[in-house]
Amino acid sequence: MDTNAFSTAPPTSNPSAIRPGDSRYDSLLRGSNHRFSGSPEEIHVITTAEQAVSVVGEAARSGATVAVRGGGHGFEDFTANQGVRVLLDMSEMDHVDYDPVRDAFAVEAGSTLGHLYRALFKGWGVTVPGGECPEVGVGGHLIGGGYGPLSRRYGAVVDFLYGVEVVVVDEDRNARLVVATREPDDPHHDLWWAHTGGGGGNFGVVTRFWLRSPEAGRTGPREILPPAPRMWRSRAEIWSWDSLDEETFRRVLSNFGSWFETHSSPGSPSTGITGFLHASPRHGHGVVVGAMADDDVPQVTELLDDLFDSVRAGVAPSPMRTESVRPWLEFSAYPGWGDPGGPDTRRIKIKAAYMRRGFSDEQISTAYRYLTTDEPHESQLILIGYGGEVNAVDPPRTATAQRDSVLKAAYMSVWGVAEDDDHNIRHLREFYREVYADTGGVPGLDGPTDGSYINYPDSDLADPAWNRSGLPWHDLYYKENYPRLQAVKKRYDPGDFFHHALSIRLPQEPGA
């Protein structure tokens, strides 16, 4: 018997289900990726944990499939497919406060990252090393092992996850609320662990997270999370495609990869800065190398100079340069910042890889060919600085197994209308398959790559037509942590009530 469980209670507020025909229904139907839209019978805007228990319990008893949406920034159809009958929208449940009992920040699961950064900063001058897009929800982001511009310095955001409050469904289809913390003697320790990178929509509905530094001895709201930067420095150097031939492109990508290979050890001063490389399709801006940091990092401009000088080594054309120093909140919580496309161009496909090393010359040639082809496409390539403090954590300690990569790669296509789906998706798929041709068309394990990132989910990894590596999709995302995730699934969702195309399978299930 769980001491902190309670029986299903009636909702305390806003109990009404929003059904088709209700004027609110269409506005609440889809998330930010307009490729996907479900047709749930009911959408519930959740405002309390008790209401979530009630809605989930009701759905479980009737056998209806439930999905939970946080910020709606998931890339696949996990919350918006035709199987979903009841959709929980958490976005109005977004309170952030310091909890003196647990000496941790309590963050309701519908908060966006931007709201979290604002609340932590305005209240206490602290922050977490989460993602860069303020509209992303903490719901999916934290559970999937989120990272961002401060991760090289402080770690992945899940390294700060102290606890979760989750609505789970037992084998008798009763919903109950469980609190799980990272305390080693917590009877629900494994449920906490599964939420440190196991991915959203797998074990239940998280209603609240608690965040606190992993370091012992820190107490009080200003001590338990990293200090937020005062000012944020960003620099970018941009080469237009006209100025880049294949050899120059090779140099830039190769230099960028080499810098991260040699400047990403935990504790190295260079982890005070991070960087990215963004290569657009031929009709776009070209190649941007960007880097950024807390402006109070010691010798920040020298560190940035070192990165940019290294990237420019042997590159003849001069890039255009921009630099800015802005107050932290203007960078971290600026509304709309980071969302690809506009409201009319939000059809998105993503594929990804963890990279222990930069690209080989052959891979760079492939990237050049795919990005600059005259064939119509919207594929772009983004390499994002990783490693540093993230790599100070042992892989089994959290569900985020990849702990020795130095970059993440995102292959993304963003377009406007359904008629363009086929050629844009095909181009991205072929581009990715060819980059990883030596490892069965996917980023293999135990070599220059280390699988992929569940927060950039790609259902193609579960499709033998696109994954010929012989490695199942779950090994690419979770590696050796997968059996433990399955054990948590069995204990907390024995009826597989929460599932989607890439959800953790029960141990005996096909494809497990």
**Counting contacts by CB under 6 A, is residue 83 touching ligand FAD?**
no
Characterize 482-493 residue by residue with b for buried, 16 or more Cβ atoms within 10 angstroms of its Cβ, and e for exposed. Answer: bebbbebbeebb
Closest CA to 353 of 295, 423, 412, 294: 412
Spatial distance between the Cα atoms of 170 and 61, rounded to a whole number of angstroms: 11
Nearest residue (CB) to ligand FAD, 144 versus 444: 144
DSSP string, 345-364: S-EEEEEEEEESS---HHHH
Smallest gap, in angstroms, from Cβ of residue 109 to ligand FAD? 4
Place of tokens 């699934």: 489
* Contact flag: residue 485 with ligand FAD (CB under 6 A): no
Cα separation, 389 vs 42, in Å, equals: 43
Question: What's 487's DSSP letter?
Answer: H
Q: Which stretch binds ligand FAD (CB under 6 A): 55-63, 130-138, 229-237, 418-426?
A: 130-138
Using DSSP, state whether 74 is helix, strand or coil: coil
User: In terms of CB distance, is 146 or 221 closer to ligand FAD?
Assistant: 146
Binding piece for ligand FAD, criterion CB under 6 A, among 7-15, 62-70, 269-277, 281-289? 62-70
Q: Which stretch binds ligand FAD (CB under 6 A): 141-149, 213-221, 440-448, 487-495?
A: 141-149
| Residue 71 binds ligand FAD (CB under 6 A) | yes
Q: Is 197 in the site for ligand FAD (CB under 6 A)?
A: no
Q: Which stretch binds ligand FAD (CB under 6 A): 125-133, 219-227, 304-312, 364-372?
A: 125-133
User: Taking the CB of residue 375, how many other CB atoms lie within 10 A of it?
Assistant: 12
Q: If binding is defined by CB under 6 A, does position 116 make contact with ligand FAD? A: no
> Considering the complex, what minimum distance in angstroms separates the CB of residue 219 from ligand FAD?
28
Residue selected from 41, 339, 438, 496 as contacting ligand FAD according to rule CB under 6 A = 339
Query: Binder to ligand FAD among 47, 79, 264, 366 (CB under 6 A)?
Result: 79
Q: By the 8 A CB rule, do 207 and 177 touch?
A: yes
Q: Please say which residue, 92 or 309, places its beta carbon nearer to ligand FAD.
A: 92
Measured CA to CA, the distance from residue 95 to residue 91 in angstroms comes to: 10
How far is it, in rounded angstroms, from Cα 131 to Cα 135?
A: 10
The yes or no reply on residue 358 touching ligand FAD (CB under 6 A) is no
> Alpha carbon of 114 to those of 141, 143, 212: distances in Å?
12, 17, 18
CA–CA gap between residue 383 and residue 281 (Å, rounded): 15
Taking CB under 6 A as the criterion, the residue among 72, 197, 443, 451 binding ligand FAD is 72
Q: How far is the CB of 244 from ligand FAD (least distance, A)?
A: 26
Our measurement of the distance from residue 71's CA atom to the centroid of its chain's CA atoms, rounded to an integer in Å, reads: 11
Q: In Å, how far are 21, 39, 87 from 25, measured between CA atoms?
A: 7, 10, 11
Size of the site for ligand FAD (CB under 6 A): 37
- Taking CB under 6 A as the criterion, the residue among 74, 129, 281, 387 binding ligand FAD is 74
Contact 177, 4 (CB under 8 A): yes
- Secondary structure of residue 383 in the 3-state scheme: strand
Cβ distance to ligand FAD smaller for residue 24 or 222: 24
What tokens does 138 get? Answer: 């903490």
Q: Is 370 in the site for ligand FAD (CB under 6 A)?
A: no
The answer to whether 457 and 75 are in contact (CB under 8 A) is: yes
Which of 32, 280 has the CB closer to ligand FAD? 32
Under rule CB under 6 A, residue 333 binds ligand FAD: no
DSSP output for 270-337:
GGGEEEEEEE--TTS--EEEEEEEETTSTTHHHHHHHHHHHHHTT--SPPEEEEEEEEHHHHHS-TTT
Nearest to 414 by CA among 343, 344, 341: 341
Whole-angstrom distance, CA of residue 415 vs CA of residue 483: 37
Q: Which of residues 206-225 bind ligand FAD (CB under 6 A)?
A: 206
- Does 146 bind ligand FAD (CB under 6 A)? Our answer is yes
Residue 455, helix vs strand vs coil:
coil
The pattern of x and - marking residues 427 through 466 that bind ligand FAD according to CB under 6 A reads ----------------------------x-----------
Per DSSP, the three-state class of 137 is strand
CB of 322 to ligand FAD, least distance (A): 20
Which residue stretch of 97-105, 137-145, 267-275, 277-285 sits at the interface with ligand FAD (rule: CB under 6 A)? 137-145
Compute the least distance from the CB of residue 438 to ligand FAD, in Å.
27
> Residue 201 or residue 319: which is nearer to ligand FAD going by CB?
201
String of contacts with ligand FAD for each residue 19-58, x by CB under 6 A? ------------xx--------------------------
Interface mask (CB under 6 A) for ligand FAD, residues 266-305, using x and -? Answer: ----------------------------------------
131 binds ligand FAD (CB under 6 A): yes
Q: For binding to ligand FAD (CB under 6 A), which residues are involved?
A: 31-32, 67-75, 78-79, 90, 109, 131-133, 136-137, 139-141, 143-144, 146-148, 200-201, 205-206, 338-340, 455, 500
